[in-house]
Chain A
Amino acid sequence: MAVAVKTQNLPLIKKIRNIPKEEYYVPGHRTCAGCGPALQYKLVAKAAGPNTIFLGPTGCMYVANASYLCTPYAVPWMHTQITNAGAVASGVEAAYQVLIRKGKREGELPNIIVMAGDGGSVDIGLQAMSAMMYRGHDALFICYDNEAYANTGIQTSPTTPYGANTTFTPPGPAIPEGKKLFPKDPPQLVIGGHPAVKYVATASVAYPVDLMNKVRKGLNVQGPAFLHIHAPCPKGWKFNESKTVEIAKLAIQTGMWVLYEWENGEYKYQHKPKEYKPVREYMKLQGRFAHLQEAHIAKMQAFVDAKLKAPGIPVEIPLPAPGAEA
């Protein structure tokens, strides 16, 4: 299968002052005030530039952005089902490969970016995401992680943290922690299992220049790339909307979110704290954790401690210290 040549090399941004001015995710969208996913979308669109096509599966970044009969995307964008964004993007990429090869389209392969939520990436959308990674399409799959099915009113998803209160995992006497399950690790699902993937990275709205550079690296690479972006949700996580970036920073400072890149089989870390703050600092600011008892927080701390030792999910989910059980 011949590959259309992509010669673009989006330069990495050195300083925040050098961030490109143009907006491709323009003002005028119905996302919540302080929406983390909206913030990352703006940054991604800015980093990608005008030669871009977005695929938007159903989720907050579809419904909230596209109500009603209008969108904030200044570049081509198409709605997909929550199930199939990876597949539709694959089709767009295949079309451009053959149309350029046959001389029916001029210019370069555009940036083809899937903007999927956690559900559309690793739950209902997992099959399509994996297949896109496997088939080697020259496209970028972004999982914006607000750790729930937010658009439908905050229901648990596979990336919802242990102990979170969602409308499908409400805490109560029978289930004191609310959510009992520990989350999937999206980049780890991609790394190591998909031979064609060249670049996987995590990012956060807390570090926008790092985020934009990772978008550009993912787009520059020939082949599929996967980006996992932490995008706090004021409504779902129950915190004041002015604190979106603060919460995102705390996630990194407590180890709840780790910034890294995986390229050519090697891991590189960014903004690694010298000392990690206890997870309770992060959790106490969010209403979704307000019901948790000491034993649950201890369990979460143990999970984070184990995970910080190496990428991926600890082989055993650690139990809290003896005597601390609720």
Chain B
Amino acid sequence: MAKEMVLSGCAASAQAAKYAKVDVVCSYPIRPYTALMMELAKMVANGELDAEFIHGEGEHAQLSVVLGAAAAGARVLTGSSGVGVTYAFETYSPIAGGRVPVQMMIADRALDPPGDFGSEHTDAMSCRDQGWIMGWAENPQEAFDNCLINYRIGEDHRVLLPQFVCQDGYFVSHIPGKVVLPEQSQVDEFLPPYKLPHPLDPKHPVSHGPQIRPDQGTIMDLQRAQAMLDAPAVIKEAIEDFNRIFGRKYSPFVEEYMTEDAEMALFIMGAHTMTARHAVKHLRSKGVKIGLVKLRFVRPWPTQEVAEALSKFKAVGVIETSTSYGGAMRGGNLLHEVRASLYDLPQRPLTTSFMAGLGGEMVPLKEFYYMADILSKMIKDGKAKKTVYWVGFEAEA
């Protein structure tokens, strides 16, 4: 019988790994994801979870340990935050290119310098070109669900890719929320056992990763690109199945909220979506024709779905909780990909971006009202004055 608990994102992720019967976990402490590992350690110690709990010597080692374990035939979980994510960077391409479906939980944290425990998406976003599936959770329930969904997608033989399962540090990783825990039988129905096509096994010897010539390199890249082309269909299947078995109503790639007859929309992902929903509801009650579009997967980027969802608005404000210094929009990472998605449309909405929630700051309602204000002005002026607004720090209104 499904039971309801109030869990932090970290604890929810740990529960999901337990339901998924993870085989090997590799830990290393760094705020704020550490609680995930502390929960799993407790589960292993009291016999709730039969898994090898390996104390990695660092984040780079964590990824390396789970790579070895997964290549040998085990379902694995690791995780990190902030500079831990970037310290392990060397390993991301080898894991994705080696087609080993490792799962890494990322509880975001602002990158050094200096130490800042607050959440910022830049840590994970810096890794988005390495060929991993990647997406954000809005709340602990979604953190739980995404863990299972990503195992299913990544381990599918049509995909075979590792996954960054992200959640905002503190806002999701630590603030508890309602989580409906399923029956083990539901999880067993949704998630087949882990099985690689060519694990490391003396009974069937293989050579994993011999050196290649440069002209063969292009083919490797093509294969990896193909995997990202094949993934969306598998994602759709997995989400449909998930919804059916667990009774959720996830839309695979983008979720729309109060967008019917909206003139403008906020495009957002992660924890602050929750606040944004309240802002949109309040603005709607005041007669502002605003909606919200939430992004669930950054990789593979759902180009068509984003274009379809956003094409109906006159103005879109992309909320950026990450930075891309020197990037074309001089702001964050999402606006580049939103504009690319919209480029071929015969009629494109005006777009701008709002730097909000950086460094781990909260995004209060009034900041969303400010954004709505700017979007209204944009529609009136017929153009965006700027491509990026550092919310709360702009010199003029």
Contact = CB atoms under 8 A, between A and B. Distances in A.
Given A73-B205, A91-B67, A110-B202, A131 B210 contact: no
Nearest to B23: A98
Nearest to B204: A76
Interface string B55-78: 111101100111111111110100
A90 B71 CA distance: 12
Contacts of B53: 1
Q: Is the interface of B mostly helix, strand, loop or mixed?
A: mixed
Interface stretch (B11-19, B211-219, B302-310, B375-383): B211-219
B162 to A, nearest CB: 14
A181 interface: no
B346 interface: no
Given A67-B210, A69-B212, A88-B65, A94 B74 contact: yes
A101 interface: yes
B68 A88 contact: yes
A68 B212 contact: yes
Contacts of A93: 68
Interface stretch (A32-40, A51-59, A280-288): A51-59
A79 interface: yes
A79 B210 contact: yes
B60 A84 contact: yes
Contacts of B221: none
Contacts of B66: 91
A190 interface: no
A92 B72 contact: yes
Contact of B210 (A51, A70, A88, A134): A70
B74 A66 contact: no
Given A76-B201, A81-B90, A102 B23 contact: yes
Given A91-B24, A94-B52, A99-B23, A74 B205 contact: yes
Contacts of A130: 57
Interface in A80-139: 80-81, 83-84, 87-99, 101-102, 104-105, 107, 110, 127-128, 130-131, 134-135
Given A67-B210, A68-B213, A69-B216, A84 B61 contact: yes
B26 interface: yes
Contacts of A83: 60, 64, 90
Contacts of A62: 211
B3 interface: no
Contact of A98 (B74, B201, B205, B210): B74
Nearest to A131: B57
A78 interface: yes
B: contact size bracket = 35 or more
Interface string A203-236: 0000000000000000000000000000000000
Contacts of A75: 202, 205
Interface residues of A, number: 50
Nearest to A81: B90
B287 interface: no
B119 to A, nearest CB: 28
Contacts of A77: 205-208
B23 A91 contact: no
Contacts of A240: none
A155 interface: no
Interface string B36-65: 000000000000001111111110110011
A320 interface: no
Interface in B92-151: 94
B91 interface: yes
A104 B202 CA distance: 15
A71 interface: yes
B202 A90 contact: no
A68 B220 CA distance: 14
Given A84-B91, A94-B69, A78 B211 contact: no
Contact of B55 (A66, A68, A89, A135): A135
B68 A98 contact: no
Given A70-B210, A73-B207, A92 B23 contact: no
B5 to A, nearest CB: 27
A129 B10 CA distance: 30
A70 B53 CA distance: 34
A89 B72 CA distance: 10
Contact of B52 (A69, A97, A104): A97
A52 B205 CA distance: 9
B181 interface: no
Given A53-B200, A81-B91, A95-B73, A87 B64 contact: yes
Given A70-B207, A84-B64, A128-B64, A91 B200 contact: no
Contacts of B197: none
A91 B64 CA distance: 7
B209 interface: yes
Given A92-B71, A131-B56, A80 B64 contact: yes
B211 A63 contact: yes
Nearest to A75: B205
Interface in B204-245: 204-213, 216
A119 B36 CA distance: 34
A81 B64 contact: yes
A88 B216 contact: no
Contacts of B51: 98
A44 B242 CA distance: 49
A160 B23 CA distance: 41
A83 to B, nearest CB: 7
A130 B94 CA distance: 22
Interface of B: 23-24, 26, 50-58, 60-61, 64-74, 76, 90-91, 94, 200-213, 216
Given A71-B207, A95-B70, 16 more contacts: A1-B52, A50-B202, A51-B202, A53-B72, A73-B205, A74-B205, A76-B208, A77-B208, A78-B71, A81-B64, A88-B67, A90-B54, A94-B24, A95-B68, A105-B201, A134-B57
28 contacts: A1-B52, A1-B53, A53-B200, A53-B202, A55-B68, A76-B201, A76-B205, A76-B207, A77-B207, A78-B209, A79-B209, A84-B60, A84-B61, A87-B56, A87-B64, A90-B54, A91-B64, A91-B65, A92-B68, A92-B72, A95-B69, A95-B70, A95-B73, A99-B23, A105-B201, A131-B57, A131-B61, A134-B57
Q: Which 10 A-B pairs have the closest CB atoms?
A: A91-B68, A79-B209, A87-B64, A66-B210, A84-B64, A88-B68, A131-B57, A95-B72, A91-B69, A95-B74
